[in-house]
Amino acid sequence: MKTPTTTDTASTAAIQAATRELRLPGIREQHTRLADQAERTSSTYLGFLADTLTLEVDDRAERRRARRITEAKFPRPKRLADFDLDAAPTINPATIATLAAGNYLDNGDPVVLLGDSGTGKTHLLIGLGMAACEQGRRVRYTTCAQLANELNEAADERRLARLIAKYGRIELLIVDELGYVQLDTRGAELFFQVLTDRDETSTIAVGSNLPFSEWGRIIADPRLVSAVIDRLTFNAHIIETGTDSYRLKTSRT
């Protein structure tokens, strides 16, 4: 006596229920396409199973990548491949390629970008952050003013230690626009606490429109500004993006 087979409708219902229970959204969404593909190519059972599991693995990797990029809070997506190195003669392409590989993150080496407004600092910082996300790293983008405000609020609410510990777990902390807003004494001290907590263990990348010699305009305490610069320059990758605004040249063109 022949054993009756499960109908396609019942099979689909069982797959939907099982993939929800097992949390396999990739298979739930693509099982019909995979089954049709297996039928067309006369795939073996093992081949069909391998294709199905591989799809779920790839789907999860893509979801993790998308989640990391969302959690990084980039103001807009930017990629290193889209940066016009020909328009930035002061930037060594080999340096960008080396950083793109991500080895600096393993060593906790700082990255500092110095240059005038419109010279590509933010693009490069976000591009490095996107590359790090795609390599499975935890990344967070913020401006210097936003970070100082967040630290001040945490200190007022007696949760500063938790916030600094949270930032300490982030593998790449990007602090942009250092130099546009002056830090008060408390904000500068809290910023230095973050640097100290990450020193030689986790990477910080900073973008500033001022050379180091003018950072006293941001941080009033000479000893503190020296300590901040010391932390950010030790084993650092320092990139000068120049003085010619790419945005201004593009607008004129």
pLDDT tens digits for 119-153? 999 999 999 999 999 999 999 999 999 999 999 99
pLDDT tens digits for 66-88? 999 999 999 999 999 999 998 88
Task: Report whether pLDDT(22) > 90.
Answer: no
**Domain 80-252 CATH assignment equals 3.40.50.300:** yes
Q: Do residues 120 and 243 lie in contact, with contact meaning Cβ atoms separated by under 8 Å?
A: no
Q: Looking up tokens 């991500």, which residue turns up?
A: 102
pLDDT tens digits for 206-242? 999 999 999 999 999 999 999 999 999 999 999 999 9
The sheet that has 172-178: what strands, in order across it? 139-143, 172-178, 203-208, 111-115, 237-242
Q: What is the mean pLDDT of the chain?
A: 91
pLDDT tens digits for 146-204? 999 999 999 999 999 999 999 999 999 999 999 999 999 999 999 999 999 988 789 99
Question: Any idea what DSSP says for residue 3?
Answer: P
From 7, 32, 36, select the one nearest 19 (Cα to Cα).
32
d(CA 235, CA 11): 59
pLDDT tens digits for 89-101? 999 999 999 999 9
Domain chopping of the chain, boundaries: 8-72, 80-252
CA distances from residue 122 to 70, 74, 112, 198, 253 in whole angstroms, order as listed:
17, 10, 11, 21, 22
Burial readout 69-98 (b: 16 or more C-beta within 10 A, e: otherwise): beebebeeebebeebeeeebeebeeeebee
pTM of the full structure: 0.84
In this structure, the dihedral spanned by the alpha carbons of residues 25, 28, 29 and 34, taken in order and rounded to 10 degrees, is 120
The confidence score (pLDDT) of residue 237 equals 97
Using a pLDDT cut of 70, give the percent of the chain over it. 94
Task: Report whether pLDDT(247) > 80.
Answer: no
